[in-house]
Amino acid sequence: MTAEIISIGDELLIGQTVNTNASWIGMECSLRGIRNNFVTVISDDEQAIRDAVGVAVKRSDIVFITGGLGPTKDDITKFTLADYFQTKLKCHEPTLKRIEAFFSSRNRPMLEANIRQADLPVDAVILDNIYGTAAGMWFEKEGCIVISMPGVPYEMKGIMLNEVFPRLVQKGNLVSLYHYTLMTQGIGESFLADKISNWEERVRNAGLGLAYLPSPGMVKLRLTSYEGAQRKNEIEKFFKELQDSFPRYVYGIQDESLSEVVGKLLMKNGSTLGSVESCTGGALAHSLISVPGSSEYFQGSLITYSNQLKVQLAGVVQDHISEYTAVSKVVVEEMAIYGRIKLGVDYCISTSGIAGPDGGTDEIPVGSVWVAVSDKNGVESHCFRFGDNRERNIQMTVLTALNMLRCRILGISFEKK
């Protein structure tokens, strides 16, 4: 099955918004054996929409359109498609009810423009949007499926996952691919490839697809069976080998986040967690609480961004900051040790570093970060050197700290080999 994507919106053409929708749809399609061959970005312009759809329906089995379904005057996708497919708009009662419920649950009045969003093409299958007011639409013409969805990413994703893919499965349009992913942290793509080259050769000889999917601080390994889930056990065996050989890097499977993995370990042991954060400034706590149910183990944090609060709240010795600076083994260990007591938790993670872009020195350049983890047996700390990018340094520190805690709980050495 071949697909293409038409993304509508001036904001994409002039670069105010990056087209992450197209990436997401392309990725989700390829995971389901649908081959995406084209992405076309156009403006909210009637002729441009008609032309793009006209070309697309001739060369693809399915066309995903995003954008231009809002309630404002520049949103013309729905009207243009209704005209293109020669169908009329009519109030779709279930959608109107949904829009009414959307506004009443938020205690907000509904405007005429919102009511008009329930006017939908009579010849389209209407796809429920559970996160917003613009419904999706499914047209069919000459053997081609054309799907129109709002451009707001989480609304589009909801419609794709809840409405579009289930319908494609039902229609029997999807071939059976089986994917299994292994999550690693703390090792770069080329180093990983070098370490596992023999394993990779055996995987490829077994006729399995292998992809390295790197993102800052992490590399995801994806194995694909072209014969569906029947090779699940074989794939799991391949992954088990890597888990046993590299426990410090391999932390989980199937898109699990480190926060989820750490959370499960803590829940299993009935342990509690807190953090004392300087350079991550709350990003570590935020990552931990992004897991639903994290209140079971996560108690709280001290964000000691200023040195004064490091002393006052976390119990760091003032003289140690003066002597060693705040980005030092001594200070980060004190943050973890005393923070554990102040927060009354079983494990405490602490971070202190120079996130950048300024603030570095010859001795402690931008990107230098200390991370410590304390528990009832003591404290361990490690120093890292990330790059020049502030937000990236913060994210790398969060992932590294979570992996350090995971290794500490499991008794795995965190030293790089």
C-beta of 107 vs 198, nearer to its own copies: 107
CA distance 356 to 368: 9
C-beta of 144 vs 193, nearer to its own copies: 193
For residue 62, what are its two tokens? 């399915």
For residue 404, what are its two tokens? 């350090």
CA distance 400 to 381: 11
Q: Which helix (H) or strand (E) holds 350?
A: strand 347-353
C-beta of 196 vs 261, nearer to its own copies: 196
Contact between 376 and 398 under an 8 Å Cβ cutoff? The reply is no
C-beta of 23 vs 361, nearer to its own copies: 23
C-beta of 88 vs 296, nearer to its own copies: 296
CA distance 339 to 348: 7
Contact between 367 and 387 under an 8 Å Cβ cutoff? The reply is yes
C-beta of 393 vs 403, nearer to its own copies: 393
C-beta of 361 vs 378, nearer to its own copies: 361
Q: Where are the alpha helices (DSSP H) in 71-164?
A: 77-84, 93-105, 112-116, 153-159
Q: How near is the Cβ of 412 to its own copies at its closest, in Å?
A: 21
Contact between 337 and 349 under an 8 Å Cβ cutoff? The reply is no
How many other β-carbons are positioned within 10 Å of the β-carbon of residue 111? 11
Q: For the chain, how far is it from start to end, CA to CA, in angstroms?
A: 45
Prior bond of 357 cis (ω within 30°): yes
Contact between 353 and 279 under an 8 Å Cβ cutoff? The reply is yes
CA distance 261 to 406: 8
Give how far the C-alpha of residue 141 lies from the chain's centroid of Cα atoms, to the nearest Å: 35
DSSP for residue 164:
I
Q: How near is the Cβ of 322 to its own copies at its closest, in Å?
A: 17
Q: How near is the Cβ of 411 to its own copies at its closest, in Å?
A: 26
C-beta of 216 vs 378, nearer to its own copies: 216
Residue 199 identity? W
CA distance 45 to 194: 50
How many other β-carbons are positioned within 10 Å of the β-carbon of residue 59? 12
C-beta of 209 vs 378, nearer to its own copies: 209
C-beta of 192 vs 337, nearer to its own copies: 192
**In the beta sheet, which residues pair with residue 379?**
374
Alpha-carbon distances of 311 from 123, 316, 318, 319, rounded to whole Å: 68, 4, 6, 10
C-beta of 15 vs 411, nearer to its own copies: 15
Burial of 174 (0-12, 13-18, 19+ CB in 10 A): middle
